[in-house]
Chain A
Amino acid sequence: MTGSPSEPYDLAVVGAGPAGLAGAVTAAELGLSTVLLDASGRPGGQYFRHPAPGLGATRPGALHHDWPAFTALRRRLAASDVTHLAHHHVWTVTRRAADDWTVHALTGPDGDDGKPVRIRARAVLLATGAHERHLPFPGWTLPGVVGAGGAQAMLKAGLVLPGRRVVVAGSGPLLLAVASSLTAAGAHVPEVVEAAGYLGYARHPRALATNPHKLVEAAVHGTALARHRVRLRPRSAVTAVHGTDRVEAVTVSRLGPDWRPLPGTGRRVPCDALAVGHGLVPQTELATGLGCATRRTPDGTDALLLDAWQETTVPGLWAAGETGGTGGWQLARVEGELAAVAVTARLRARPGLTTGRRVRDLARRRDRMRAFAEAMAAAHAPGAGWTGWLTDDTEVCRCEEVTAGRVREAVDDLGARDARTVKLLTRAGMGWCQGRMCGAAVAALAAAGRPDGAVPPSPARRPLAVPVPLAALAALPEDPDGPDGPEDH
């Protein structure tokens, strides 16, 4: 069987979003034996989510003007020889050689069906996407506060609205998309509160002008929002949430250029839900665990460092999509395709594959979209003053219930200067989410103690990408010839 110890797959793709899907179908079409693993039950990833069958949603595409592109990918997947393994949660990837990889996954909707699998492959493409960045604020733990991406996902997956009157806040181009989905689904969005100024885009006119699709997208959102009388509030942030059992109102404050809230500018906006997010953080732990280098993105996240052919700094491991930096679904798809071409060229020793006109064209589009993405990221980079809206009793790490005050104590009294030390001294980031929720905030608070105040790079160190039952670990086959050698007692 392909993928068994005796016959590994040519390529294992982790993540079935636009990047992974495009990578898998392209590789299969080029003749590679390919396996595609994804934690969720259906392909599509973050953007092309669709309602579970049986929810009565007959036209998921109604939420999407890009749906046809996804249907095309799905059709290619169905027609291909790709082995699609849904509900496979990859917890680690290990490497014996540049062409000898093992992907370890737990199976079942929640990864707990007790049948862990190992899949061998000669190359790996990581397309694990990103997760939302959260910057906490007083009251963010109140029911009714949801992630902007989460709200969008809820809409797409189950068509549920987080509330009737929803303030959308945070920073980044996704806020407009979220606001327009919410209004399209019948919610009232009184305000979109954006911490950055949109003027930031103007600094990158070239990147904008060469990405007409993005402009069309913005215009679509813009007109939809105007029609629904949604007010755009740039240079502002939600600095407090009011309500006892759930959100009743939020305070919106004006921000200075470094995002420090300007005293006395708070306005109360009644609402019954708040959708908030500050862009996306590349999900890179499977790669960083293998030693892949990262780069700092203009908006302060750590993305995988990739070469022109999407290969990471660890030979044999490729990445595409948001793992290399946020950039939208089209960039993800193009990168997936490029990576598949590069893998095939390597495994089949066909360097000619990478010099064709179509491939050069793809690479050019990739570069253009990346440049645009970086420009957007720069415009939405959190200002250093945002921690000014955290009161000492604001909970920063929700899993371990660590407040901003305790993090500040670790910095001021115990000498912590980075997120890892704060974690060791306060437990912030040690809980269920492993710092995915609080990581950005903890890093920013810790940086306050550094002479330059800058947040040092802190790529994800999560050797277990998902929680693994001890029984699953204990049941792994013994590996006497493994890199560790035999036990000798």
Chain B
Amino acid sequence: MPLSNSPDVIVVGAGVVGAACAYYAARSGLSVTVVDRGPVAGGTTGAGEGNLLVSDKEPGPELDLALLSTRLWRDLAAGLPDGAEYEAKGGLVVARDAARMTALRAFARSQTAAGVTAQEVPADALHDLEPHLAPGLAGGFLYPQDAQVQPALAAAHLLRASGARVRTGQEVTAVLTGASGEVRGVRTRAGDLHAPYVVNAAGTWGGEVARLAGAHLPVLPRRGFVLVTEPLPRVVRHKVYAADYVADVASGSAALQTSAVVEGTPAGPVLIGASRERVGFDRTLSVEALRRLAAGATELFPVLAGVRALRTYAGFRPYLPDHLPAVGADPSVPGLLHACGHEGAGIGLAPATGLAVARVLTGDEPPLDLRPFDPGRFTGVTA
């Protein structure tokens, strides 16, 4: 039995990416229903850190997406209540020794050419920016475009601002298709929902939703732990991390790679994150991951040694083999769009993803070249 009032588009997933898709689609005049089997932001969005980074991205399609998102987040933040806790605090990337500083300088130069603002900070000026930073570092780069939001709040506020109909607690169990294989809607335990377009924003579970539609998207989980300290006065002003992080993001290895990204929050706790490892959906605590996070953080900020970690949480980043998200139309199922696989950057990349999806839905020119994100790239079939 179909549920009443069929929308123009159904978004599967009420994480930050689904929320952004709903927001921009609704702003383009489409009527939107968002379906999630859990609560709003109950997936990886509720387990992420909320860094909106350009500093960690090498020139290329992901950086382009991030640069566009950075601008969009600024606009969004101005329109949303301050509940989203947007902060344009800037990132500070430091180098432990001269060799790493040289590498960082070359990296920053290539980013600058791609539109990133990066300012070199000599060793003796680091402490003006971050008074509690460890002594003996070789220098760093300041990235003023790096910012932060509270991901769950941002997703919830975006969803509310979208005016979309939100159905939580309803799992999509099938994607309905018509005679020629085109999308007709989705089936949930509460009934069928009809719409000519379905957006797969199911994050780490995007592969399963694709499969329901007969499509193929190899999304896999990549676990991360975050450590959260007791509330502190502002001892860390920027997002601070060591330059090795850059190498981790693009690496394809299955082993744990932890780089300490340390940052303060408006509420007081310092966040330290995040580890990266491929262990499926295993939630059990990895003491080794916590050791590396704590060791990295106290190495950068020795004052944190006596500070207590109050909690830790784990999440599962949605990653695709080439570490780029899938954004756009499915090559084989008409009416199916994908917006998932953003790995460790989904909070940052959400607005540009949402805007691009809305443009595809309305048939308008996308805001950037979507070919690198083509969901068909894993099947050999392109849209």
A residues whose Cβ falls under 8 Å from a Cβ of B: 92, 94-95, 104, 289-291, 400, 410, 413-418, 420-421, 424-425, 427, 430-432, 434, 450, 461-464, 467-471, 473-474, 476, 478-479, 482-489
Contact = CB atoms under 8 A, between A and B. Distances in A.
12 contacts: A400-B267, A414-B40, A414-B157, A415-B159, A416-B39, A424-B41, A450-B169, A470-B308, A474-B298, A476-B290, A483-B288, A488-B251
B324 interface: no
Given A484-B256, A489-B248, 16 more contacts: A414-B40, A418-B39, A420-B39, A424-B41, A425-B156, A431-B231, A431-B310, A461-B313, A463-B312, A467-B310, A473-B291, A473-B294, A478-B288, A478-B291, A484-B255, A487-B256
Given A434-B310, A474-B298, A469 B156 contact: no
B308 A469 contact: yes
Q: Residue among B254, B256, B288 with the most chain A CB within 10 A? A: B288
Contacts of A420: 39, 42, 46
A489 B251 contact: yes
B67 interface: no
- Give the interface residue-count category, chain B: 35 or more
A473 B309 contact: yes
A410 B155 CA distance: 13
Contact of B160 (A94, A414, A421, A461): A414
Contacts of A414: 40, 156-157, 159-160
Nearest to A104: B287
Contact of B305 (A291, A413, A471, A482): A471
A415 B168 contact: yes
B287 A479 contact: yes
A290 B297 contact: no
A421 B293 CA distance: 26
B202 to A, nearest CB: 18
B247 A489 contact: yes
Given A289-B285, A415-B156, A421-B46, A464 B244 contact: no
Given A421-B42, A479-B287, A474 B295 contact: yes
Interface string B124-153: 000000000000000000000000000011
B199 interface: no
B311 A430 contact: yes
Contacts of B178: none
A483 B279 CA distance: 9
Contacts of B312: 463-464
Contacts of B297: 470, 474
A307 to B, nearest CB: 21
B166 interface: yes
A469 B251 CA distance: 31
B307 A469 contact: yes
Nearest to A415: B40
B77 interface: no
A461 B293 CA distance: 20
Contacts of B55: none
Contacts of B293: 473
B257 A489 contact: yes
B292 A487 contact: yes
Interface in B276-301: 277, 279, 283-295, 297-298
Contacts of B82: none
Contacts of A410: 156
B79 interface: no
Nearest to B40: A415
Nearest to A473: B294
B286 A483 contact: yes
A290 B287 CA distance: 12
Contacts of B369: none
8 closest A-B pairs by beta carbon, nearest first, are A473-B294, A424-B152, A467-B308, A471-B305, A474-B295, A414-B156, A484-B256, A474-B294
A489 B160 contact: no
A463 B267 contact: no
A415 B156 CA distance: 8
Nearest to A426: B153
A487 B257 contact: yes
Contacts of B40: 414-416, 421
Interface string B230-260: 1100000000000010011001011111100
B130 to A, nearest CB: 17
Nearest to B291: A476
Given A463-B285, A463-B313, A474 B257 contact: no
B285 A94 contact: yes
Contacts of B257: 487-489
B191 to A, nearest CB: 14
B39 A462 contact: no
A243 to B, nearest CB: 29
Given A434-B310, A470-B305, A486-B255, A424 B46 contact: yes
Contacts of B76: none
Interface string B304-322: 1111111111100000000
